[in-house]
Amino acid sequence: MTTLQAGAATDVGRVRQINEDRYLAEEPLYAVADGVGGHQAGEVAAQTAVDTMRSEFTEHTAKGLVDAALAANQAVWQLAQDNAEKRGMGTTLTAVALVVEDGEDQLALANVGDSRAYLLQQGELVQLTEDHSLVEELVRDGRITPEEAKVHPQRSIITRALGMEPAIEVDCWKLIPYRGDRILLCSDGLTNELSNDRIASVLRKLADPQEAAGDLVRQARAEGGGDNITVVVIDVVDDGGRAEKASAELADEPRPKAPTPAPVSTGDQDVRAVQSSTTTATATRPRPAAATPPGPARPRRLTWRVLAFVVLVVAVFAAVILSVAWYARSAYFVGVDGERVAIYRGRPGGLLWFDPTLQERKPLTLADVLPVHHGELQAGKEQASKAAADRYVNRLRQESEERRAVTTTTTLAP
């Protein structure tokens, strides 16, 4: 049976007046939510998400965790629709839960936004989640470097959050827990102030998860505390003998007498790879009484020059295909899917055999959009990135809402 132990800490920081972060640390569910839209009740969004996760996570599976996150999105969205002063509020969510998959204990991880989850395993710190933020998309597209992203003026803009739309995409992973593993959940108030190396140093040094969480928050505040800081540290204190069983099975494997095994690194562990030698007995054949003179040598049809030429042609052809594929898939465009506005990846109409793929269907319908934009949407409005496409759709939504507001407030003179 897998047993977890956790510690958590949060702080408003040294700049903000309100702590819009919320956390949950109740086995088997742990979460961090960072509210967005300060004047629009970001703290309410974060608290609503955490409360909904607590009540809705009843099926202890990875699907159950994702369903709870979707329910949290719907709860925040509905609350914003019912209260005009809260419209526009949202929250990030990073959650991990102890679940049962295929008859064994596993850890399921769900993420929306730029709050992060890390895994410290055998002293190495690895980031598990992928930020849903503007600068992270720019890094993935190769337009800026990770170092430039740390000081980018738009690094606080996120491209996905709970409560912003009635439907949301939730990233999900599953991990096998081993005794000694340590999971870190945190808001960006920690990662904006401390480097990964410094975070790893604290997690290695302090064995108690509560002490580790408190020290990380204190250090982030001391480095500037420009945002709310929230940390949850989860330790795998017992894995039901999984680690010992794996070690025993590795030790009990039969070893060949020769040759000496050589270690091959796989990133997670060292696997012993053995090259076996085979001895083949050669039967002795009687020599013929008289040797038959050999016939004329047949000319070789395949020379190394021919082979090199064939390889070169194949390489050039592959490079052309890859270049076309990259160009065809390197852009996004906003179009329509039925009556819904949608974001596609690729080029409008496709390129050769590379057709565009649907990335996301928006709640905005073509009827909601001003008629002046209908033509470009039906043709496909190209954008440089997914973030740019999201911003374009948001502009269409804002124009539509402004047009409706003007229409409803205009009265005709008698």
- 317 burial (CB, 10 Å; 0-12 / 13-18 / 19+) is exposed
Mean pLDDT over residues 107-113, rounded? 97
| pLDDT digit string, tens, across residues 84-95 | 888 889 999 999
Better-scored residue on pLDDT, 286 or 36? 36
Q: Report whether pLDDT(39) > 50.
A: yes
pLDDT band at 286 (very low <50, low <70, confident <90, very high): very low
Q: Report whether pLDDT(293) > 60.
A: no
Say if CB 184 and CB 7 are below 8 A apart: no
Q: Among 74-78, 158-162, 396-400, which range has the highest average pLDDT?
A: 74-78
Q: Report the range of poorest mean pLDDT among 1-10, 70-79, 239-248, 341-350.
A: 239-248
Better-scored residue on pLDDT, 197 or 351? 197
Percent helix, strand and coil across the chain, each rounded to 5?
Answer: 35, 25, 35
What does the mean pLDDT of the chain come to? Answer: 82
Taking each helix axis from N to C end, the angle separating 196-205 and 209-222, rounded to the nearest 10 degrees, works out to 150
Say if CB 241 and CB 254 are below 8 A apart: no
- pTM here is 0.60
Say if CB 155 and CB 149 are below 8 A apart: yes
Mean pLDDT over residues 389-414, rounded? 73
pLDDT in the model for residue 291: 37
Q: Report whether pLDDT(400) > 50.
A: yes
Provide, rounded to the nearest whole percent, the portion of the chain with pLDDT above 70: 81
Question: Which residues fall within 8 angstroms of residue 89, CB to CB, at 6 or more apart?
Answer: 35, 36, 37, 40, 41, 42, 44, 45, 76, 80, 163
pLDDT band at 357 (very low <50, low <70, confident <90, very high): confident
pLDDT in the model for residue 403: 78
Q: Give the residue from 63, 184, 54 showing the smallest Cα distance to 115.
A: 184
Provide, rounded to the nearest whole percent, the portion of the chain with pLDDT above 90: 49
Q: Which residues pair with 364 in a beta bridge?
A: none
Output the furthest CA–CA distance in the chain (Å, rounded). Answer: 127
Could you give the domains of the chain?
2-243 (3.60.40.10), 329-409 (no CATH)
Mean pLDDT over residues 329-349, rounded? 87
pLDDT in the model for residue 153: 62
| pLDDT digit string, tens, across residues 183-234 | 999 999 999 999 999 999 999 999 999 999 999 999 999 999 999 999 999 9
pLDDT in the model for residue 238: 94
